[in-house]
Each structure stands twice: as C-alpha cells, then as structure tokens.
Structure 1
Amino acid sequence: MAYEYISIFDIFKIGVGPSSSHTLGPWKAALYFLNELEQNQLLHKVSSLRVHLYGSLAKTGIGHGTDIALLLGLSGYDPVQIDPDKIPEILKRVRTEKSLSLKGQQQLVCDEKESILFHLGEVLPFHSNGLKFEAFETDKLIIERTYFSIGGGFVVQENDEKVEDMPKVPPYPVSTAADLLEWCEKKEGTISDVVLENERQWRCEEEVRMDLLHIWQVMKTCIYRGCTTEGVLPGGLHVVRRAANMSARFLGGKHHSSYEDWAKKITTGNKEFQDIIAWVSCFALAINEENAAFGRVVTAPTNGSAGVIPAVLLYAVLFHNAVDDDVIRFLLTAGEIGSIFKKGATISAAMGGCQAEIGVSSAMAAAGLTEISGGSVQQCLMAAEIAMEHHLGLTCDPVGGLVQIPCIERNTMGAIKAITASQLALASDPTQARVSLDKVVKTMWDTAQDMHAHYKETSEGGLAINIPMSLSEC
C-alpha cells in the first residue's frame, strides 16, 4: 500500500464553521471546480450550473451550511481569508439578486432551489459525502466533476484522484503508532522531534513554528470571542450561548478588555479542581458556539470537534505555565496522532460516527498534553489509546442536522477525557498495557463499519429523532 503523506497543517486547517466535512470540504471543492473551469478555459463560457449533493451532505447539508459554503466558494471567497462577519451580507446580496458571480468574474442567474439539489435518497459508492458540479453553456453540459469531502476538510476527486499532493517523502514515514514508536526509538527523540523533521521536508523549521503559533493564535482568538459573545445560535434550534455567561460568572464580573487581560484574570483567580474543570468546559463551549455561528475556527481534526484541543492546550498554558515551545510540541504530537487515525480509520463522522471526531480529537489532545507534561513516547501513545478507547461507539446524531446538539457539549466531554487519559498514562507503566493505540485505531474502524448508517451524521437516529426538527426549520 502506498504511503499517504499528511502534514499536520492538513490536520489543523483554518476555516469557517460549522463543519469541516459539510462546510469547509464543499467550499474547497467549489474552489477546485473553479480552478478546473479556468484551466480548461471554460469560466467565461458558463451560463448556468448545478451542484448535486448526496448522502450525508444531502441529509444534513442545510443544517451544516453546505449550501452557504457552495455559494461562497463559487463566488471565489477563500475560507481562510474571508471575514466571517461579512458572510451574512454576501449571502443576502446573492439571494436577493438571485445572481452569482463565479470567482467574481462570470455573472450567472442563481436560483438556489434549481442550482443546489439535495438527493436525499442517494449515496455515491466511494463516500457518504459526495457532490457533483455541472457547468452549462446555454443548455449544453460543458464540464462535470465529482468530489468527496472525506472529513477534516480533506477533499478527493472521483476515482480517488487527489486534488492536493505532497511532493516530498518525509524521512520518517509514519502510517501506524508502531511506525512512530520505532522512529522515535531510532532517533532517540520525542514524537514532536520526529514530526518536526518530517514537516521540514515541506517547510523550513522557523516557518513550521510560526505557522503553528499562528494556528494557536486563531484558536485563542476564537475562545475569547466565544467567551465574550452572547445570544442565540442560528439554525432554528434556539440554542442559547453559554460560554460568555459562564466566563463572566467565573470571573466574578471582573472587566477585561483583551484576551491577554482576560487570561491574566483567570490565572489569578481560584485554582481549585472544580474551578479548573469548569474553565476547561467553558473554553470548549466557546469554540464550538463560535463554530456553530459560522465563526473562524481551526479543524482539530474537524470543525465539529474543534473545541477539544484548544481547551486542553489553554488549560496547559493557563494552569500549568506552558510556553510557546510547549504549544508547538503539543500541536506537533497531536497532529501526528490525528494523522494516524485518518490513515488507519477515519476522521469523518459520516463514515464513523462521532467517535471519529470527538474520539480522535480527545486522543490527539491526550497525547499532546502527555508530551509537554514530560511523558515518554510510550506514555503519549498510551494516553491517546485511553482517550479513544472510552469514545468507541460514539454516534453522530445532530438534532436538525445542526452542529449544536449534542455536538457542542461533547467537546467539553472530550476535553475532560483527554486530561484524564493523560493523567492515567503519566501514572502508568506503558509496558504493562494490554491495549495498543494501533489496536484501538483498528477497533474504531471496525466499529465504524458495523455502525448503522442512522448514526453517521444523517440525523436519522439517536437524539436527532427523539428531538424532532424538520430541515425546513433550519
């Protein structure tokens, strides 16, 4: 089997909520399609287009903002650069005028009901998240392309043709936890040492460090915004934001004017066990409330699980004095664990249920925290195994197809489990462990294949049917 190149910057992507597979993936697919049109010199010939959504994209696409992502992507907006506050204004203009400007160049009439089609009863063979673009010149089909959003913002073209390639083979290729352990032992280094050497094949070391600290800055900004923004989340479920109220209550009403001021007040406050745990939950809620409101987030490894890693990392920074070098090592280690799960199983809830999102993010956070806490390589892998072991079988059952219930609270659970898993690993002898990380990865994939489709991001099982809500309300 060919080695799959995955950078940690594929695992940690900056984008817009609420879903990496249903929002970021289709958005990127739209940009890829625009590139195809340009490369084939067809952009200015297009008079109309249609996008067909299949499987989970069709069933929960409205709640996950797939339609919005497609309109923004086809208009040429970059999910990394777009100002999330401008999205409502852009959408209002497109929908009011019923007009779409392909990449800002080719003006089309765009009636969403005719241009974006949801095929609720159809699933394409390769993956549940399939979408097909068709471009027409007058009534003649001039090009069509099918893409699959396979989780975490990763997109592949039909027939598994990759639309993004890594040009160089890293010095320490890793497909499994056993590979990673072997390289660490040969190099006599940590997980982050090995991963950094691999990343240097694609970026210089200084760039890797700067880019990781930029990712951390985006995460911190998202947490602070979530902890200072009140209101009701969009979508029709009328979920009230809680993080801002919790933050204000925990600080006793103390005023703060910036993230730095807010963070300082947290560290000078109470540090009892219950206070620290409450803050970790608040951090995770803040991220995923922002995610649900189409805010700027980082896939970690997905949008739906974006709150776990930042919450655990901020816990390490504020309550255990982690510094920038620790942040870098944490993210390098966490990113490699996410890569191992993607290669050996899946990070897509549409393929594996929520164990593939919250479970993986918890395992990533547990390993990262263990490394910066002085744990051995074996203890880091053990922490990741413990965290995933206790998420096995977790289903994805979003109410109304929205990444809100139970998704937001699940991030708090994943963060707490990550911290517990790290503590257990640090207090244990890994040589006595009976379960390896690779066995858990395989078990997660076996469980995913056995899991009924109702529990794979279709909103056809679990809480989604016991708290019924029609897609028309979203």
Structure 2
Amino acid sequence: MVSSVFDLFKIGVGPSSSHTMGPMTAACDFVEMLAEKALLESVGRVEAELYGSLALTGKGHATDRAVLLGLSGQRPHSLCPDEADEIVAAIRATSRLRLGGEHEIEFVEERDMSFLQRERLPHHSNGMRFTAYGPDGNMLDSKVYYSVGGGAVVDEGAVARNAPPEGSWDVPYNYRNADELLSFTEKDGITIADIVRANERASLSDEEINRRLAAIERAMSGCIERGIGQEGILPGGLQVKRRAPGLYRLLQERAKEPSVDPLAALDWVNLWALAVNEENAAGGRVVTAPTNGAAGIIPAVLRYYQSFIPGASEEGVQVFLLTAAAIGSLFKENASISGAEVGCQGEVGVACSMAAAGLTAALGGTPGQVENAAEIGMEHNLGLTCDPVGGLVQVPCIERNAVGAIKALEASRLALVGDGTHRVSLDEVIETMRKTGLDMNERYKETAQGGLAVNVVEC
C-alpha cells in the first residue's frame, strides 16, 4: 500500500525514530488504552520490557527516556526537548510517575524497565511489551508493540491480523512498485509529484497539503539553524564535539575571499547534514526523513536546491518533498526503512535515494530520470551496515549523513545527463536491498555488536 507523505515525514525528537519516537508513541498508546478501558485509576505498577535491538542499543538511543516520557503522556510531535529533561529528571529523582499526566504511581526504573538483550519477539527486532498491574499485583492488561522504522508503531494484534500498514488508504494511484509508478506517469502524462499530490487529495485539501509541506520544510530548516548555533559536546559519553558551528564560521570566512572554489557547495551540504544530525544526537527536534538516523540527508539536499539553484521556488520545494515521499513509500512497502531490520542501507541508503529523486524532480527531470536517480542513490549504498559505536546515533551516523547527501547530489547529476534509460531498475535495487538485509548478520543491524561498534575504543 502507498504511504502518505506525512507518515514518512514526521516531526519529532531525536536521537532515533525507531528507538526513541516509536517506544514513546507505544508507551503513550498503552496508557491511553488503559484510560479507554477505565483501568487507569486502578493501576499500581507498570512494567516495560524491551527486546532485541531495542534492548541492545536502547540506552544509547534514549529508549529508556522515551518510555518514561510516553508513559507520562508525551508524544514526539508535541514534545518540547527542554521540558522532556525536566520530566525525566523528576521521575528519576522521586521514583514517581504520572501515567498519562494524571494518575501517579511508583516507577522504579531498575525494577520496572527491563532490557532483555538475549530475547527477541517474533515479528521484529524492535519489540516491546507493556504490562499494567493493580495494587494487589494482579495483571490488569498487557500489550506488545513493534517499532518498525520511521517512528511507526504496530501492535501485535495488527501484525496477527495482517492489518494494512500505517498510512494506507484508498487512493487513485495505488502503485505497488516503481514500474507501476512510471506507468501511471506515462499513461496520464503527469509527474511523480502530481501522482503523490493526487493521492493526498483523497483525505486532504490542496491548502492543507501545502500547509503541511511548508511545516515540514520549516522544521527541517529550523533544525539546520539550531544545529549550526549549538556549541559543545554531544551527550552519551563518546565526547563527540559538535562540528557544525565551527564549520559554519569557516565557510563564512572563506566566502569573503576573492578566490573561487568550484566545490564550495559541497562544504555547505556537509555543514547542513552535520548540523541536523548533531541536533538529532542531542535529542533535538527533527523530521524523520525517512528516519531520525538519516534525518540530515534530505534537509541538506533540499537546502542545496534552495541556496544554489537559480530559480528555486516554493513549488520546487513541494515537488522535491512529494517526489522523495513516493520513493520512500516504495522502499517502505517492498523492503524496509528500519536499521534494525536491514542495516543502515534502509536508513541512509533510502534517504539518499529519496533525496536524489526529489532533487532531480525539482530540477525538471523526467519521471525516468527521477527513477534512475533513486536507483543510483540506493545501488551505491547496498550492504551498508548499522553499527553505532556505544549504541549512540553519533559515530558513524553523523558523518554518514553528510556523505549520503553528497552521494544524492552525484546520483541526481548522473541521472540528469542521461535520458532516463538504464540497465538496473529501481525495483531490482529495492529487491536486492531487501535480500541483502535478510542475509546481513544481526551484528550489523543496530545491535552495536559488530563493525565499528566493537572495533572503535569508546573512551
């Protein structure tokens, strides 16, 4: 099923869409379910159990904080990062938590939150179980959730029923793969962006679509600006210094010099990607694009379009985002956007593919050239592992976004000098990515048990 633009691009908080935003949403959903069943006031204790990748890298990805915030009734899209620190600090200082912001219970984190690193729930590595008990210790209710990537959450019941994925709805262009998408553009003489907008019109007016796209662009831009302006060391213990402010000052000084560097634009793209992912690593407000771990690529390439392309326009920004979402939907439907499921090829690789497609469309590329750019963007990220040092979304994640953004520019440029015909199709690359993810050892799927995560000294 086709995913909505606004399911792929979600405004939330860092450092991880699957390990922070997903668990926060699941915990909040569980509390709201208790309230709907009139059980909230009867709860004496809540237990949170985290499995698989959530358990292995959860603390580095702030999953523990996310669960505390979700149980307190906070959701990623409306959470203020500064207020989050105060809420978590109060819970940890008092061992008291207000479920849904209303019903106060005792919550001893060491007792009530378990990281079950050697256990995995059946349907996905990012599994979690919440259980509520009465004051007498009797179980009131329990539910299993899966954080499946990009901040999306499904419960075990939906998985068992094979329910439609998040964002599925009746649309005029229900494409299942890139070949069908291109067929629609050829048949009706329209662009990929036109198809995505027509699908969004199934539930939204054009004015609302434009308003939401503008909000996404503002959030991406705001994240760049905050990342550029924040000095210091990122949290988590790796002592990673924020590099974006210093790089920004350097580029400003270089801009005053009379000499011309033909590759200066790439330095700015690097800056914008670093700024976003440093802000994400600090738990700031970001946009899943399609995930938090890959959140810097699309904003950086979009800012490149706005800053370096003569004639860049608001319409071009909309075409960029709508087209990028179409490509992201193909990966989400036919493979995965979860690093815990297929490695970082599903995050940075997909974001690179989306950004390449979006830029190509904004520059006036044909649907065939857009599909070619998307294919190139993923083809050269196949097999990319997810091996975060210390379980943190910092090394190699931050630099990996900068490199992914540059790859997206290259993919777009290669596609635009061609006529759209090419030997390897996007559908073939998506299927290859899916199979590569299945073959990939679990150590390289966001578990911090392989690759750089075990070969880099953390201190």
Q: TM-score range by the shorter chain?
A: over 0.9
Q: Cα deviation per residue 1:63-103 (whole Å; 9 max; x = unaligned)?
A: 00000001111101121112112222221111111110001
| Residue 42 in structure 1 maps to residue 39 in structure 2 | yes
Q: Distance in 2 between matches of 1:318 and 1:198?
A: 30
Q: In structure 1, what is the equivalent of residue 238 of structure 2?
A: 237
* Contact preservation (8 Å) 1:157, 1:163: no
Q: Deviations over 1:433-462 (max 9, x none)?
A: 110000000000010000000000000000
Indicate the residue corresponding to 1:426 in structure 2. 416
Aligned match for 1:284, one of 273, 277, 280: 273
SS in 1 for 2:187: helix
What is the aligned partner in structure 1 of residue 152 from structure 2? 154
Secondary structure at 1:88 match in 2: helix
- Asked if 1 retains the 8 angstrom alpha-carbon contact of 2:349 and 2:382, the reply is yes
CA distance in 2, matches of 1:330, 1:268: 32
In the alignment, does 2:52 pair up with 1:73?
no
Aligned AA (1:201): A
Q: Secondary structure at the match of 1:459?
A: coil
- After superposition, the CA RMSD in angstroms is 1.7
Name the residue aligned to 1:406.
396
Alignment of 1:161-240 (within 5 A): 168-240=169-241
TM-score normalised by structure 2 residue count: 0.96
- The answer on whether the counterparts of 1:267 and 1:318 sit within 8 Å (CA) in structure 2 is no
Look up the match of 2:247: 246
Distance apart, 1:187 and its partner CA: 1.8
Partner of 2:338 in structure 1?
Answer: 348
Return the letter of the residue paired with 1:57.
Answer: L
Q: Secondary structure at the match of 1:101?
A: strand
Partner of residue 263, structure 1: none
Which shows bigger deviation, 318-327 or 56-65? 318-327
1:468 Cα offset (Å): 4.2
Q: Distance in 2 between matches of 1:86 and 1:101?
A: 15
Q: Cα deviations across residues 47-70 of structure 1 (Å, max 9, x unaligned)? A: 101000000000000000000001
CA distance in 2, matches of 1:269, 1:185: 48
Check the 8 A contact 1:63/1:235 in 2, yes or no. Answer: yes
3-state DSSP of counterpart to 2:265: helix
Runs of 4+ with deviation above 6 angstroms:
266-271
Secondary structure of residue in 1 paired with 2:211: helix
Q: Give, in whole Å, the separation in 2 of the partners of 1:252 and 1:51.
A: 51
Matches within 5 A, 1:379-394: 379-394=369-384
Residue of structure 2 equivalent to 1:257: none
What is the CA-CA distance between 1:274 and the residue it aligns to? Answer: 2.3
**Contact 1:181-1:378 at 8 Å conserved across structures:** yes
Per the alignment, in what secondary structure is the counterpart of residue 59 of structure 1?
Answer: helix
- Which residue does 1:145 correspond to in 2? 143
CA distance in 2, matches of 1:414, 1:175: 26
Residue in structure 1 matching 2:285, options 279, 293, 296: 296
Alignment partner of 1:311 is 2:309: no
Counterpart code for 1:312: V
Aligned in 2, Cα 1:340/1:401: closer, same or farther, shift over 3 Å? same
- Say if 1:155 and 1:163, in contact at 8 Å, map to a contact too: no
- Structure 1: 5+ residue runs without aligned partners? 254-265
What corresponds to 1:23 in structure 2?
A: 20
Aligned to 2:321: 331
Q: 1: CA distance between counterparts of 2:268 and 2:225?
A: 12
Q: Distance in 1 between matches of 2:98 and 2:11?
A: 24
Which of 115, 123, 132 in structure 2 is aligned with 1:135?
Answer: 132
- Identity, in percent, stands at 50
Residue in structure 2 matching 1:363, options 346, 353, 358: 353
- Does 2:436 align with 1:438? no
Which of these residues, 123, 147, 158, is aligned with residue 126 of structure 1? 123
Say whether residues 1:452 and 2:441 are aligned partners: yes
Residue of 358, 378, 382 corresponding to 2:368: 378
**413-422 or 91-100: bigger deviation:** 91-100
Match of 1:98 among 81, 95, 110: 95
**How far apart are the structure 2 equivalents of 1:435 and 1:180?**
16
Alignment correspondent of 1:52: 49
What's the CA shift string for 1:345-383, capped at 9, x where partnerless?
000000000000000000000000000111100000000
TM-score (norm 1): 0.93
| Superposed displacement of residue 201, structure 1 | 0.6
Q: 1:32 aligns with which of 21, 24, 29?
A: 29
| Alpha carbons 1:5, 1:169 under 8 Å: kept | no
Q: Measure, in 2, the Cα distance between the counterparts of 1:9 and 1:250.
A: 34
Output the amino acid matched with 1:246. Answer: L
The answer for unaligned runs of 5 or more in structure 2 is none
Does the CA contact (< 8 Å) of 1:334 and 1:364 recur in 2? yes
Q: In structure 2, give the amino acid aligned to 1:68.
A: R
> Shift in Å at residue 206 of structure 1?
1.0
Once the 2 structures are TM-superposed, how far is the Cα of residue 252 of structure 1 from its aligned partner?
A: 1.8
For the residues of structure 2 that align with 1:389 and 1:267, how far apart are their CA atoms? 38
